[in-house]
Amino acid sequence: MANMFGGFDDFEQALTFGIPMQQNPNRGFSETYRCYSVVLMQGNERQTANYGGKIFLPPSALAKLASLNIVYPLLFELRNADKQIHTHAGVLEFIAEEGRVYLPHWMMQTLLLEQGDLLEIKNANLPLGAFVKIQPQTPDFLDISDPKAVLENALRNFATLTQGDIIQINYNNKIYEILVLETKPSNNGISIVETDLEVDFAPPVGYVEPKPQPDTMANKIKFEEPATEPKGFLPFQGDGKQLNGKKPVKTSVDETNSKSKSSSNVHDLSSSENIPAPLNLPFGELFFGYKIVPLSDKKEVS
């Protein structure tokens, strides 16, 4: 934090001891800077700053703020005058080059800004936030084991939330985009510095809710049905017996089905001439497939 507030530990000390204060409530902070992404800053890398809601201003901004009657914490309205788009941000450090301001990448996307475009910055008074409703932009956010804790930790890098913004957070080297759907008590922006914030989650974009299972006893006890047998009539499923007392050779279901299919195909392809005529036997007579020759009544001659 050295040289962050002109050599003082915090902004209040800079106001009290470092720079004379002129209490003039009719004046406000309003400046226009060339805006650039945080990743283009010279010096130490600040990867966390690119996934937060705070900006870098030049030291001259601190001098001007100290001379005004500005309410702490320092909050700003950032406006793209050409596109009439605005958002809000806090300040992280006063170390930018004069005439420049550095923003997180998601903030430049929200404001439709290119590197070097002009950006109007004014001080803003925002109410303490009580409620925010957010919507992850991909279903991948649900893969996080504890999304509430991850979001709580990520919001520590933000000072404000503005309705309609799509912020970015970094977790396990993966970027998640989150839309701010609603803010209370103001839909124009809220301060989330030292406040108890209630967070509500909307279903992520592209999320398909699974169909509810019927409330049956099987589902309650998580009963799993055994593997189902093939549907349809399966012939010759019982155990047969041979006349010689030997056990019959069992054939598999597939072989039986294939044989039945092949036999049915043969019958389908055969002509009506090959079909045997029906047997018209008198009642009580059996047919064994061959002609029966009765025994002779003649006695053998010795």
pLDDT of residue 275: 64
Q: Which of 34, 187, 188, 163 is nearest to 110 (CA)?
A: 163
Three-state secondary structure call for residue 257:
helix
Alpha helices, DSSP H, located in 146-227:
147-154, 217-220
For 172-177, the CB contacts below 8 A with 24+ separation are 174/140, 175/51, 176/136, 176/137, 176/138, 176/140, 176/141, 177/106, 177/136, 177/137, 177/138
CA distance 27 to 290: 123
Architecture of domain 126-208: Roll (3.10)
CA distance 134 to 161: 10
Tell me the residue length of the chain: 302
Q: Residue ranges per domain, the chain? A: 1-125, 126-208
CB 92 within 8 A of CB 142: no
User: Tell me: the pLDDT tens digits for 99-133?
Assistant: 999 999 999 999 999 999 999 999 999 999 999 99
Q: Which of 197, 176, 199, 222 is nearest to 127 (CA)?
A: 197
According to CATH, the superfamily of the domain at 1-125 is Ubiquitin fusion degradation protein UFD1, N-terminal domain (2.40.40.50)
Helix (H) or strand (E) holding 107: helix 105-110
Residue range 245-264: average pLDDT? Answer: 57
Estimate to the nearest angstrom the gap between the alpha carbon of 107 and the chain centroid.
22
CB 92 within 8 A of CB 50: no
Q: Which of 161, 164, 158, 136 is nearest to 148 (CA)?
A: 136
Entry pTM: 0.63
Residue range 48-65: average pLDDT? Answer: 93
User: Tell me: the pLDDT tens digits for 73-98?
Assistant: 899 999 999 999 999 999 999 999 99
